[in-house]
Structure 1
């Protein structure tokens, strides 16, 4: 069964700026340009026969286009031993409404989701066992503005595990209004 998630793609020029954050940090598995995105909602494994149903329900959503800004970096976990390093995304009302609408419509189809609050971000690096400190990176980039961009669509990705990390394939694009 394919592993699916909804996401917003990041423009190439912002990805290039995000990639410049890379630094030698013990245990960091840096994301490639192709892996940089903003996850809206993770569905997990979905049977092939349900993918069409998911897409049909999501196509019926009427949500407005909006602008996002990517700025600053932070981490999940302590800076001395992080789990993830991420770039911040301005949590505008339209972004939060889109994520909530997806969660609502897909919850109606029986999908269950993590109950933690949605914290929009772009994952830059993941850490496993050996974790080096990212404190210096946080200091250097806490107020870095990576850019703003219009969000006119979101995508349904299929995630496939590969030797260099996950590979994401767009299954469908969903236009926003306006």
Structure 2
């Protein structure tokens, strides 16, 4: 299983973001159900014991609900592919939650995260040769600001390879208060 921990965006926000699809030719747009804010990429896990340790670790999360807001367009440059994304307004609450996840997963035996935490929502991917057009897209969407969303749980996702696209399947949700029981929403 290829796993990651993220904030699943509310359906209304995913729908609003999906309106940006097609606003630039040549982009492989991410399907709206896959929009999320990654908190920690875990990677390929095949050992059932490690899966249980991850679940136990994430079950220990505890924080107070807070709001997060998407703001400003970004171009995330890569060596062969770039990504169009929206940033997430940084807050001490978001940073503390991500740090707690990192700490709990490391204590569960996972290696440290390979990338520095930079919260964002990826909207699409494009070839690096399209970078000038992508820069213009970012400039025209740089004032984007979403409605604040309430953060009350985090989701453990499995990434599956579908026909021509990735499919992200929610496997478990972890509430802000470990005493709360959540069920994965069906979509």
TM-score by length of 1: 0.89
Return the alpha-carbon distance in structure 2 between the equivalents of residues 11 and 43 of structure 1: 23
Equivalent position of 1:102 in the other structure:
101
Query: SS state of the match for residue 44, structure 1?
Result: strand
Structure 1: segments with no counterpart, 5+ residues: none
For structure 1, which segment, 94-103 or 57-66, has the greater mean C-alpha deviation from structure 2 after superposition? 57-66
The C-alpha deviation readout for 1:78-129, integer Å capped at 9, x for no partner, is 9xx9611101111111111111111111112221234432110000012246
The answer to whether the Cα contact below 8 Å between 1:82 and 1:127 also exists between their aligned partners in 2 is yes
Higher relative contact order (CA 8 A, sep 6+): 1
The answer to whether the Cα contact below 8 Å between 2:77 and 2:128 also exists between their aligned partners in 1 is no
1:149 and 2:149 correspond: yes
Return the alpha-carbon distance in structure 2 between the equivalents of residues 146 and 164 of structure 1: 29
Equivalent position of 2:73 in the other structure:
73
Equivalent position of 2:52 in the other structure:
52
Return the alpha-carbon distance in structure 2 between the equivalents of residues 19 and 161 of structure 1: 21
Aligned length: 174
- Give the Å deviation of 1:136: 2.4
Equivalent position of 1:163 in the other structure:
163
Aligned Cα RMSD in Å?
2.0
TM-score by length of 2: 0.85
Return the alpha-carbon distance in structure 1 between the equivalents of residues 74 and 110 of structure 2: 29
Equivalent position of 1:138 in the other structure:
138
Equivalent position of 1:93 in the other structure:
92
Return the alpha-carbon distance in structure 1 between the equivalents of residues 84 and 162 of structure 2: 21
